[in-house]
A and B are shown apart, each in its own frame.
Chain A
Amino acid sequence: NAGVTQTPKFQVLKTGQSMTLQCAQDMNHNSMYWYRQDPGMGLRLIYYSASEGTTDKGEVPNGYNVSRLNKREFSLRLESAAPSQTSVYFCASSEAGGRGYTFGSGTRLTVV
């Protein structure tokens, strides 16, 4: 099993450009999440999807949008990238809310 697969692994964007981070899981999990990790600040929740067809804002949603395309896939879109969005982005999934997560390998994004 691949678990949680994220693409791309690395990306450099110019300020104002847009991009979509892709995430797919093959564990039949109901819930999926997007986090960003910045030095000294830990992981912060951007958006989550408790089940197929639903999405909700997390702690730091501004500047991002998400789509739960189907049960397997949950994408994160940056419409107009800003330097403050330079970070490592992790997708995660779980059987349900309140259960432990399986994380993808991460996307290291730099906005210049």
Chain B
Amino acid sequence: QKEVEQNSGPLSVPEGAIASLNCTYSDRVSQSFFWYRQYSGKSPELIMSIYSNGDKEDGRFTAQLNKASQYVSLLIRDSQPSDSATYLCAVANNNDMRFGAGTRLTVKP
């Protein structure tokens, strides 16, 4: 059983729409939750971190965490073609950070 699961996609949305990315995890003692963006052939880049239940907003990005359901999500509002990338969900317990395989997002002009 994978520890961090994401829908591999591809997820395709039109420009200006809301993209919704989802992630579930299996380790109930996980304390820290992250979303990274990875462009093709590049390294992952941290875009959001969330540590407590609820929503956290940063610009066009909103991360949502529900520890009871072991569920993390990322909403991207007003999606742009430059948002086209693979989004990695990561879950950490101190120095042990586990990553999902990623969801590939395509934003069509």
State yes or no: do A and B come from one complex: yes
Q: Assuming the A-B contacts A43-B88, A98-B31, A98-B92, are A103 and B44 also in contact, with contact meaning beta carbons closer than 8 angstroms in the complex?
A: yes
Contact A43 B44 (CB under 8 A): yes
User: Which residues on the A side are within 8 Å of B45 (C-beta)?
Assistant: 103
Interface residues of A (CB under 8 A from B): 31, 33, 35, 40-45, 48, 50, 56, 58-59, 90, 97-106
Smallest CB gap from A105: residue in B: B43
Q: Does B34 contact A (CB under 8 A)?
A: yes
Contact A100 B95 (CB under 8 A): no
Contact B43 A103 (CB under 8 A): yes
User: Which residues on the A side are within 8 Å of B4 (C-beta)?
Assistant: 42
Identify which of A42, A50, A102, A106 contacts B95 (C-beta below 8 A).
Answer: A50
Contact A58 B101 (CB under 8 A): no
Contact A42 B46 (CB under 8 A): no
Bound Cα distance from A99 to B32, whole angstroms: 7
Contact B95 A97 (CB under 8 A): yes
Between A and B, 11 residue pairs with Cβ closer than 8 Å are A33-B97, A35-B99, A41-B101, A42-B99, A43-B44, A43-B99, A44-B99, A45-B96, A59-B98, A98-B92, A102-B46
Bound Cα distance from A43 to B93, whole angstroms: 16
Q: Does B80 contact A (CB under 8 A)?
A: no
CB distance from B38 to the nearest CB of A (A): 9
CB distance from A47 to the nearest CB of B (A): 10
User: Which residues on the A side are within 8 Å of B49 (C-beta)?
Assistant: 99-100
User: Which residues on the B side are within 8 Å of A41 (C-beta)?
Assistant: 101
Smallest CB gap from B95: residue in A: A97
Q: Does B69 contact A (CB under 8 A)?
A: no
